[in-house]
Amino acid sequence: MPEITEVEAARRAVEENCLGKKIKRAIIANDSKVIEGVSSSEFESAVVGKTIVSAHRKGKNLWLQLDSPPFPTFQFGMAGAIYIKGVAVAKYKRSAVKDNDEWPSKYSKFFVELDDGLELSFTDKRRFAKVRLLKDPTSVPPISELGPDALFEPMAVDEFTVSLSKKKIGIKALLLDQSYISGIGNWIADEVLYQARIHPLQVSSSLSKENCATLHKCIKEVIETAVEVGADSSQFPSNWIFHSHEKKPGKASVDGKKIDFINAGGRTSAYVPELQKLSGTSASKAAGKPRKQTSKRKGGKAKDNDEDEEGTGDEPTTEEEETTKITKSRKGGNPKGNGKKPPIKRKTTENDDDDDNCGGKDDASSEKDDEAPKEKARKVKNRTSNKQVNVAKASKQAASSQNGKKPKKAK
């Protein structure tokens, strides 16, 4: 998902290659889910013949200032990306266009040809982005509702420390709140917390002044480092947790230390338990809350909130909600019997559905497994009935002996 570094790389690419050039031709996709509030033809008519004066960004939003309004505005969502033909622009996992793909891409939502022949395209494969035509992008949502930009408008360290002391929610959730600081997304939040040695669920107000100062410094360093290399993740420092963020639980590590995954701020979060420890009331509350099993999709894969629409899962939660969201995968299983009692068929539960989704036995084998306990139970029942009959016969014989009668021999 593009964050401040990827969107800033796109802004710089536009600034370096497109300023002062006139839009000769425009093709706007007929996609009302992405192109918001204006028809394709109206959008095209509004930008053709205009000159690109500058490129602006706040948080994860970018807009092109033309020589007169309205201006094309891009909210990148989960997979939005800017491409300029013949120019290297930062790419990331979910972007759609490759060097050998058709041009413009079938996923292009906004395409313009400039008067010198240069071509620019905004693509969105997953259709969670928004492309708008606005007279003043900063005066309306979502940009008007954003907090200070993490790169262009960083808080002073004292202001940052005071603001954290008033927040009673987990620090990861707070960093993801775009109304508090704009531009920080899931991977940057995980990285700065790892570099600062702060647990994602640590309550913001419980951080010491030293913790706040370290976190402030790490936010600045991580973002600036990523921006300097054009958001090219292959050039990120080798000791960043970023490189192991998407490895499987149990196999992820950084500098030889194990990476664990929990849910913090509604997002799958990577951290190093050995270095990022909960302290104070945050630790006691987290320890006292039951662990929850991760939700599962068809096929048994744990659902990752990164695949939700932008903003979903980024909302901060209360401290209590944060500490109850620690989720670790647990494999279900029936306790083995001791062999003294026949197996009893258990009732169907939600976990049974999970087992099926995880590639469990097929229907035929399940029926055979059900038959075995039934057959054993029938045999046990028969043996019990026979014992009861024998006991009844013995009782009758004893009664006859007491009455002076000889019992009849059993035939």
* C-alpha torsion 320→156→138→9, nearest 10: -90
- Residue pair 65/19 in contact (Cβ under 8 Å)? The answer is no
Question: Measured between alpha carbons, how far apart are the two ends of the chain, in Å?
Answer: 86
2 annotated active-site? yes
Distance of CA 23 to the CA centre of its chain: 38
Cβ partners under 8 Å of residue 71, min gap 6: 63, 64, 65, 133, 134, 135, 137
d(CA 124, CA 96): 7
Residue 142 amino acid letter? P
Percent helix / strand / coil, the chain, rounded to 5: 35, 20, 45
159 annotated active-site? no
* Distinct helix (H) and strand (E) counts, the chain: 10, 13
d(CA 42, CA 225): 40
Calculate Rg over the CA atoms of the chain.
32
User: Of the listed 6, 44, 50, 60, which one is catalytic?
Assistant: 60
d(CA 283, CA 295): 24
For 215, other C-beta atoms within 10 Å of its C-beta total: 24
Helix 4-17 × helix 209-228 angle, to 10° = 40
For 111, other C-beta atoms within 10 Å of its C-beta total: 20
| Alpha helical stretches, state H, 184-331 | 186-196, 209-228, 281-288, 319-323
Distance of CA 198 to the CA centre of its chain: 20
Edge-to-edge strands of the sheet including 23-28?
23-28, 108-114, 119-123, 81-84
User: Of the listed 2, 70, 200, 316, which one is catalytic?
Assistant: 2
Cα distances (angstroms) measured from residue 48 to each of 13, 26, 68, 91, 191: 21, 6, 11, 27, 42
User: Of the listed 3, 44, 191, 322, which one is catalytic?
Assistant: 3
Cα distances (angstroms) measured from residue 178 to each of 4, 23, 287, 300, 322: 11, 32, 29, 32, 18
Active site residues: 2-3, 60
